Amino acid sequence: MLTECTTAGAKISFLSTGQFMEWVLVDPDSSGTGMQLIEDMVTSGGAIGTHSHRKRKVTNHYWIDLPNNPSLEQCALQWADHDQAMHDVLQIIYGTSDHAALRAFNCTRGCGAPDNEPEIHKLLNSFGYTIRE
């Protein structure tokens, strides 16, 4: 599918959860899957971003649901979990750990929490995202 899109001149844009990015990191050298798939999508020229539903990281590969009506603080921690996992993958692809450089690539954000627009915009601004899904 990726090859068909790029052959046709289409750019791939995607947003990923931190949970998925953790699995990409499990075997980064696996040919044609995981890291290679993400790298191919990144180099296709489209946009990349982070998405989260309502999961928060407890430990590696163990994510739990946020409580009902999570506080802005709880949502910020959850955003940071997903953001860090995405940046861990992008660091390998781009060879940099510079936060500003990584944010330039990972500039789009989608979310399932918080539940209201003003708080979403506070987080978008505080994390430095420039595009909202």
Domain boundaries, the chain: 11-132
Q: Quick one: average pLDDT of 34-38?
A: 79
Q: Given this model, what pLDDT does residue 47 score?
A: 77
Q: Given this model, what pLDDT does residue 1 score?
A: 56
Query: Distance between CA 58 and CA 120 in Å, rounded?
Result: 22
This prediction has a pTM of 0.88
pLDDT tens per residue, range 58-102: 999 999 999 999 999 999 999 999 999 999 999 988 899 999 999
- The residue to which tokens 């802005």 are assigned: 72
Q: Given this model, what pLDDT does residue 2 score?
A: 66
Higher pLDDT among residues 17 and 2, named by residue: 17
Q: Given this model, what pLDDT does residue 110 score?
A: 96
Q: Quick one: average pLDDT of 45-62?
A: 91
* Closest listed residue to residue 58, CA positions, set 75, 80, 81, 79: 81
